[in-house]
Amino acid sequence: MGPKMMVSLILLLVGSISADPFEFRSNFEFLDYSTNLDDPKYRLLDTVQPTVVYVDLDVYLRESRFNGLVQITVDVRQNLSQIVLHQNVVEIQGVNVFDANSQPVSLQVNNPFEIDSYYEILTINFDGILAVGTYTISITYLGVINENPIDRGFYKGYYYFGNEKRQYATTQFQPYHARKAFPCFDEPQFKSRFIISITRDSDLSPSFSNMAISETTVISANRTRETFLPTPLVSAYLVAFHVSDFVATNSTSTASKPFQIISRQGPTDQHEYAAEIGLKITNELDTYLDIAYYDMGQGQPMKNDHIALPDFPSGAMENWGMVNYREAYLLYDPNHTNLINKIFIATIMAHELAHKWFGNLVTCFWWSNLWLNESFASFFEYFGAHFADPSLELDEQFVVDYVHSALAWDASASATPMNWTAVADNPSVSSHFSTTSYAKGASVLKMLEHFVGFETFRNALRIYLKNNSYDIGYPEDMYAAFRTAVSQDSTFASDFPNIDIGQVFDSWVQTPGSPVVNVYVNMTSGEIVLTQQRFQLTGTPPSSLWHIPISWTHSGNISFENTRPSLVLSEESVVIHKDPGHHWVMLNIGQSGLYRVNYDDHNWEMIASYLRTNRNDVHKLNRAQIVNDVLFFIRAGTISISRAFDVLSFLKDETDYFVWAGALGQLDWIRSRMEHLPGAYEEFNTYLLDLMEAAIQHVGYNEGSNDTTSTILNRMQILNYACNLGHEGCKTDSLEKWQAFRTNESNLVPVNARRYVYCTGLREGDAADYDFLFEKYNTSENTADMVVMLRALACTKDQASLEHYMFQTMYNDKIRIHDRTNAFQFALLGNRENLPYVLNFLYNNFQAISSSYGGPSRLTIAINALATFLRDFEQISEFQTWLYNNQIALGDSFSAGVNVISSSIANLQWGNNVAVELVTAVRSANNSASSIAVSIVTVLAALTVNLLQ
């Protein structure tokens, strides 16, 4: 089909799917406008709207190049002298513009178009004024298939089939990389129908794109062309295509609900789990949101493809009809994929499938409000998967995973709001893909669901989607949907009179950080004073107010069943009442709200005493909240260390997964800051081992056939940490399992024990142990298991093996480019004594690291990892000398190194400031007062040395 015929087809399609809202306006309203380029020049005005985009790529995979033709039908809504769109291709060869009658429009003879490589735009200059109307822009160009997946766009990857290395090309366009494959309006607000054609070598498999193939044409003996059905209205970043010899399976597919898992040749037997859980999640979301996924095609049949990619810079990408995944997050082998990675498959599929509604069907108007896409996808990441498989216990994992992550992120003074208006250029767009848009946004949504109720929350989402389908969404659209939903709920109006749900919602969207609610209880009168302020670990927090839904209970009438708030704290403080009496008060039932709670000292004292004797009467998620909050209050200096460890003392009898999940990360944060003080470090390690002993005995060393998800996860987290601390029982059992595997390879280490068993085997072993696991890594066919092995290989104490490992991170092509910075961090995590060798590797190879890891930004990631591990003043000084000696060569990574130095010194200072009080509290918690004097002397001596350096 030639270009002119395609123009006619596009114009026909435009007539059927769009109408010009300005068609009845007089042209004089627009005479002052000359361009659709906005300021800053990264963005475009909406005065030119694409409606249909035809992309024809002639792809030469082996040569890493393609020839391109793009034809874009646009509605011009103002008189213009130029049209601007995005591009970042190799060369624009020609530009032509046609009017609605397919007649050419004159361009400037001497300067028909201009390229701005910095802003990545193409400017088309017209010979005169272009009147309001419909036009088609035709652009021929040359493109390159990017050979560095980290740079995204249309990129190349590889895999091995036996000993043969094979190649494929695929796409990752979010947020602004579609322009690398074809000139386009590369912002989420511009939605159009796309018709994709791919010409490829005939010895490859049929190509994949968002839609099913509508026509296959044999161009020559060696070349085949596939044209795909038109997409629904969609933003350019959601377009996708894939050229390879990959294969698909259709085990859960039906004619009405096609569902494919696609991968490289070889691991097709690892498709089954994703096929089963993915279709279940699709069906659950269909029901919940009351819009069927397979009906979204606007007259065309939708498909539901999921592709596993050996090389992928993101975790996954929600392209409509064709979701891309990092291979470890889609392929499942019950013999080699542990439970954590199985959960990843379910949750990431749920996240990407939820995007079909939130992001694809309704799209955020600009990346400043990315939360309109990502917060909902992150919410359903847990709850969509939970609907499909409740045994995964994801409804409760959400709290310790996402709520705790959001609160930790928001504790920084530099935390940004969900609606971040500073997002303007490409770097700020990228930085907003953060915990704020994902975990925090999802946590706010869950809080609102507790507030308004399950059905009203669901109705609000349905209203939003139906009112804005195939369009862009704004925060006000979401607030309006919630206002409508609560107006239809008579109980909400009676329970919360004069509460504007839109204002409640907006306070969380617009306000950076998260609050802490301070609680003072007058036991005599029963009066409870609540005050709110922003929680920050450092600095003076600004005055901020949220509308905080408050749920609470007290020991005079304990109830952890109802998470529906009883009031909204909208002012700085409020007074509530309980019956007079000596009863502790506890806020945030089931940690249903996104806020921390700090009590007066006496209330903490009573909670601590109660937890030691009756902890199971307190909801496990509240116990998880308490330990996480208290450990953050230690860091912020808003609770005495002695009281904090009094509260934490109940952990000595605690065996629940969720509680320990809320504790371990922050306990290790404190532990790492004692490392430069050997006496304090030894004391704290002993304390932790004693604190964990009951949990270790409870989980045991072997998995039971009836173990629940949380039991297995608890064993994994407890034993991994216990082995790292040197727990003798954990080490002994792990070595037994390791040696059995070494002796007979059919004695596989239980899949959920591999992380700590492999690491212990190598840490306590020699070069032969390293070589054995390295061979297993290189021959594995399961990517998730390979990551477990990659982490464990770094646990070796053999210097030659560690040096081999570090160089493998650069030159072994079995270590994927997206795993290389992870491998660098694994070398630091594996053994603390590895640090000098890792530093020398960095000093001697930083330029090669930058190149082989995927670019300067990846070197920055590696350097940033050092902040957690530089615990010696001499090493910090050595690092600083290297940093300044190589300032020019390091480029942008230099500033990251400066931050590492500042963070490392701050970590030492924090440890110095709390060491004596911490050791005293730890020894007191262990009831070993007789040892305190010796411990304090030891700590003070070490502290003095460190302060003198």
Q: Is the pLDDT of residue 738 over 80?
A: yes
Q: Region 840-856: what's the mean pLDDT?
A: 96
Binding residues for Zn(2+): 351, 355, 374
Residues 619-642: tens digit of each pLDDT: 999 999 999 999 999 999 999 999
What local confidence, expressed as pLDDT, does residue 420 receive?
A: 85
Token reading at 238: 């959601």
Backbone angle region of 650, left / alpha / beta, with phi > 0 → left and psi within -120 to 50 → alpha = alpha
What local confidence, expressed as pLDDT, does residue 939 receive?
A: 53
What local confidence, expressed as pLDDT, does residue 121 receive?
A: 97
Q: Is 455 a catalytic residue?
A: no
What local confidence, expressed as pLDDT, does residue 745 receive?
A: 95
> Using 50, 70 and 90 to split pLDDT, how confident is the model at 930?
very low
Q: What is the DSSP letter of 362?
A: E
What are φ and ψ of residue 624, in 5° steps?
-60, -40
- For 277-306, b/e burial (b = at least 16 CB within 10 A) is bbbbbbebbbebbebebeebbbebebbbbb
CA distances in angstroms from 214 to 7, 347, 789, listed in the order given? 18, 32, 43
- Percentage of the chain lying above the pLDDT 90 cut: 89
What are φ and ψ of residue 507, in 5° steps?
-65, -30
Q: Is the pLDDT of residue 933 over 60?
A: no
Of 352, 393, 396, 449, catalytic: 352
Cis omega (within 30 of 0) for bond into 40: yes
What local confidence, expressed as pLDDT, does residue 16 receive?
A: 35
What local confidence, expressed as pLDDT, does residue 946 receive?
A: 53
Q: Is the pLDDT of residue 649 over 70?
A: yes
Q: Region 205-223: what's the mean pLDDT?
A: 97
Assessment of whether the complete model's pTM goes beyond 0.85: yes
Q: Is the pLDDT of residue 22 over 60?
A: no
> Using 50, 70 and 90 to split pLDDT, how confident is the model at 29?
very low
Match 């998730």 to its residue by tokens. Answer: 784
d(C-alpha 578, C-alpha 718), whole Å: 39
Q: How many CA atoms lie within 13 A of 199 on its CB side?
A: 17
Q: Is the pLDDT of residue 3 over 70?
A: no
Q: Is the pLDDT of residue 360 over 80?
A: yes
* Maximum average pLDDT range among 418-422, 608-612, 922-926: 608-612
What are φ and ψ of residue 555, in 5° steps?
-75, -10
Token reading at 74: 């646009």
Token reading at 942: 């070490």
Binding residues: 351, 355, 374
Strands (E), 762-859: none
Q: Region 156-165: what's the mean pLDDT?
A: 93
- Percentage of the chain lying above the pLDDT 70 cut: 94
What local confidence, expressed as pLDDT, does residue 923 receive?
A: 87
Higher pLDDT, residue 364 or 10: 364
Q: What is the DSSP letter of 755?
A: H
Q: Region 784-795: what's the mean pLDDT?
A: 97
What local confidence, expressed as pLDDT, does residue 928 receive?
A: 45
Match 């690892």 to its residue by tokens. Answer: 270
CA angle 193, 371, 537 (to 5 degrees): 155
What local confidence, expressed as pLDDT, does residue 943 receive?
A: 54
Q: Region 86-95: what's the mean pLDDT?
A: 98
The one-letter code for the residue type at 614 is N
Q: Is the pLDDT of residue 615 over 70?
A: yes
What mean pLDDT, rounded, does the chain reach? 93
Residues 474-483: tens digit of each pLDDT: 999 999 999 9
| 26-30, 63-67, 454-458, 596-600, range with the lowest pLDDT | 26-30
Q: Region 742-770: what's the mean pLDDT?
A: 97
> Using 50, 70 and 90 to split pLDDT, how confident is the model at 24?
very low
What local confidence, expressed as pLDDT, does residue 33 receive?
A: 52
End-to-end CA distance of the chain: 76
d(C-alpha 622, C-alpha 634), whole Å: 18
* Helix, strand and coil in the chain, % to nearest 5: 50, 20, 30
Report the candidate in 319, 349, 359 with the shortest Cα–Cα distance to residue 238: 319
